[in-house]
Amino acid sequence: MAPKIELVASAADKVRADLLVVPVFSAEANGKKTRTAERARANGVRLGPGADVVDRALGNTLLGFAEEAGFEGRRGEALAVPTAGVLGAKAAVLVGMGDSDTIDADALRRAGAALARRGAKVGKVATTVLDAAPASLDRAEAAQALAEGVALGSYQFLAYKSDAKPSRLTQVQVLGKANAKVRDGLARGARIAEAVAWARDLVNEPAEAKSPDTVVKKARALARANGVSVQVWAGEQLVRERMGGVLGVGAGSDRPPRFMRLSYEPRGAKATLALVGKGVVFDSGGLSIKTAGGMETMKTDMSGAAAVIAAMSALRDLGVKTRVIGYVPLVENMPSGNAMRPGDVLRMRNGKTVEVLNTDAEGRLILADALSLASEDKPDAIVDIATLTGAVTVALGEKIAGLMGTDDAWSEQVRAAADRVGERAWPLPLPDDYRKLLDSEVADLRNIGTGGGGGSITAGLFLKEFVAGAPWVHLDVAGTARSGADDGYISRGGTGYGVRTFIELADTFKKP
């Protein structure tokens, strides 16, 4: 559980806490260290707000201590300093902010995460980190970023650990004058992080514990508690609704598929945003079966679905005015006597036929149905999110998602929202001449491209065939949906990528 985060009017040298966390700046400007008196006194480090209090309490020895320890004030770097008997706090922690000229919301998120990780063994932490935010950064946005970092840095998934050691941190006091904007920002950041944590939990659950039906039950409970209505299709209803991709992919599993439509409809909404999330609760590859190693992390193949559900659950509490509709196909891709075979032809909801030449290219098949339905509902814009191709990881690595779209203005709006919340995305092209790589001998198109490269692009072009009438963006998060290690406010396992982007997008949405 994330700690309670609150604004407290107290001086740094008076506060009673287990830890006092204070910011320190590096002397790195434009990638080079400077040694000017203005920026540096020792080891290129400059004390931030509250750190001077610690320095005075320790007899002006803090910078020497930092230099001896090799502490340079880099973003997310932390150094514990004993202060017993000289301050109200039992100990202090210096948190690196990087160069003071480049501090942004993400620097505050990383500082919050460092605070949470270093405070995991104590109960109460106080901090002056918020005062390190530059005047150019809105105070509420700065507070939100700090709270997100604290809450996300506190995240743990311990449900299956027999020797679990949960964080003991229960309270974080942000020191500063009474300020309604700051309080609102802290509350907003904590609420957003709560949604991200829900998505991370669902992604981290073993596949056995999250059948399509189980995910529906979890999502329905979350949605109903947060002003979101849910419609679910199953069995014969999927047949009547012509969900050929969902039925084809789900045919091999003993756990039948589901399709969810979630609706957030605030009074007076003047625009509609459609969110589509891939929900393959486990991907064996089907008859085109994956290697053993390739299956190890396939419980995360429903990360897109988790992001859509979680983001929508926070919209009412955050006062979002945009109408948002979520489309979540849920399937398990398994090999069996009932599974679809390479060479089979599926008819999708919009009537187009697809020759399935690789059953491990299944995500695009269920998204085809979802995008077709989303298009029928005539929203002002559509964005889908999917762990779709390994090729995007080859191109962009594990920290940047691939972004493709049909409208430059809409693509830029999505990318800008992602940048603001620290979830990076980079545009990839959808060249018309690559479309012929999807030509099929027997159907309207095939589910994999011919040729040896451009897998992310041909997957995007496949999805484009099922979008009509609205600007559309596709986010390929095969690399960013999961992390192999703790990194700032990202925890090992499911990252919840997309939740914060979708909340920001819905809150600031403009019709393209």
pLDDT for 150 beyond 70: yes
Q: According to the model, what pLDDT value does residue 31 have?
A: 43
Helix, strand, coil shares, percent, the chain, to 5:
35, 20, 40
Sheet with 345-347, edge to edge strand ranges? 345-347, 353-355, 445-446
Instruction: Name the fold adopted by 4-177.
Output: Leucine Aminopeptidase, subunit E; domain 1 (3.40.220)
**Hunting for tokens 């007076």 — which residue is that?**
268
- What is the reported pLDDT for 66? 87
More confident residue, 466 or 14: 466
Whether the per-residue pLDDT at 61 is higher than 90: the answer is no
Q: What is the pLDDT of residue 40?
A: 39
Among the residue ranges 17-31, 167-181, 441-455, 485-499, the one predicted with the least confidence is: 17-31
DSSP-assigned states of every residue in 408-423 = HHHHHHHHHHHHHHT-
Residue 239: its pLDDT value, please?
98
The per-residue pLDDT for range 401-415, each reduced to its tens digit, is 999 999 999 999 999
Most confident of 38-42, 67-71, 80-84, 477-481: 477-481
Q: Residues 6 or more apart from 279 whose CB is under 8 A from it?
A: 212, 215, 302, 304, 305, 306, 328, 329, 330, 331, 366
Report the pLDDT value the prediction gives residue 39, as an integer from 0 to 100. 36
**The residue type at 165:** K
Nearest-CA neighbor of 310 among 489, 503, 479, 472? 503
Measured CA distances, 439 to 370, 442, 459 (Å) = 22, 9, 13
Q: What average pLDDT does range 481-493 have in this prediction?
A: 96
| pTM of the complete model | 0.95
Q: How confident is the model at residue 36 (pLDDT cuts 50, 70, 90)?
A: very low
pLDDT at 301 over 50: yes
Q: For this structure, is 290 an active site residue? A: yes
CA distance 495 to 152: 10
Nearest-angstrom CA–CA distance, 39 and 37 = 6
pLDDT at 37: 33
**380-409 tens-digit pLDDT:** 999 999 999 999 999 999 999 999 999 999
Per-domain residue ranges of the chain: 4-177, 195-507
The answer to whether 424 is a known catalytic residue is no
Q: Choosing from 261, 290, 352, 435, which is the catalytic residue?
A: 290
Structure confidence at residue 28 as a pLDDT band (50, 70, 90): low
pLDDT at 435 over 50: yes
Residue 455: the pLDDT is 97
pLDDT(33) > 50:
no
Instruction: Report the alpha-carbon distance of residue 264 to residue 226 in Å, rounded.
Output: 9
| CA 9 – CA 357 distance, rounded (Å) | 64
- Its sign, for the CA torsion 31, 33, 34, 39, is positive
List, for residues 89-101, the tens digit of each pLDDT value.
889 999 999 999 8
Residue 32: its pLDDT value, please? 44
User: pLDDT value at position 86?
Assistant: 78
One fold for 4-177 and 195-507: no
Q: Is there a contact between 257 and 282 (Cβ–Cβ < 8 Å)?
A: no
Model confidence band, residue 43 (pLDDT cutoffs 50, 70, 90): low
Mean pLDDT over residues 257-267, rounded? 98
pLDDT of residue 42: 46
Q: Is the pLDDT of residue 41 over 50?
A: no
Q: What pLDDT sits at residue 76?
A: 85
**Cα distances (angstroms) measured from residue 33 to each of 26, 63, 66, 97, 98:** 8, 16, 16, 15, 11
Spot the catalytic one: 117, 364, 420, 464: 364
Report, as an integer, the average pLDDT of 263-286.
Answer: 98
For 325-331, what is the mean pLDDT? 99
Q: Please give the CATH number for the structural domain made up of 195-507.
A: 3.40.630.10
